[in-house]
Structure 1
């Protein structure tokens, strides 16, 4: 069986007090960890999801431990243009997360390209 390549795209906004957003990021990271144990995985913070790294750095956050485990085994990147648009550019950089901006969509400084991921053989899961 060939190795799988899976990109987990986190689009949800870490709205304060929203259990659904915590559930989404927790499940996204657990999925990334699972796929990372059995193949190649990538986590992409895109859209409002670029606000997550700042939240996940907090050791009291319910998803902190799985986030740290994922960072040890799985590539984690963020959409450059989205991090700018959602005011997360500084916190993404402070978390040491590389930004990608290969989709030069008009009116943007460049966002992550999902087409590029599928062209590279990744299946894409969104949360």
Structure 2
């Protein structure tokens, strides 16, 4: 007799993180229940309209905001940005190009340069 496999499930917060969306902006039914691996795969391969719209306009989690601005999450925190932002708000920051954004982009570029340098040294 073979044991029936139970589907692997995850909390909505984990699924939202894997989908790169802000949990509080997802529909109530998504937030309320567990998400199976199959459901997550279906959401990734054929996203429903709410997910496409959320990815397009936000609000976006800080990891997405940081990536779109080219800074680290820590850089966002240093700039006082601790909340999710919409696509329009991200574009507004890019357009204004405040001093903190230039500094944090330079810091991020330096960190990446150093990481690449260390990686190249370890290969030698």
- Scaled by the length of structure 1, the TM-score of the pair is 0.21
Higher share of residues assigned helix: 2
Greater C-alpha Rg: 2
> Of the two structures, which has the highest relative contact order with CA contacts closer than 8 Å and spacing of 6 or more?
1
- Scaled by the length of structure 2, the TM-score of the pair is 0.21
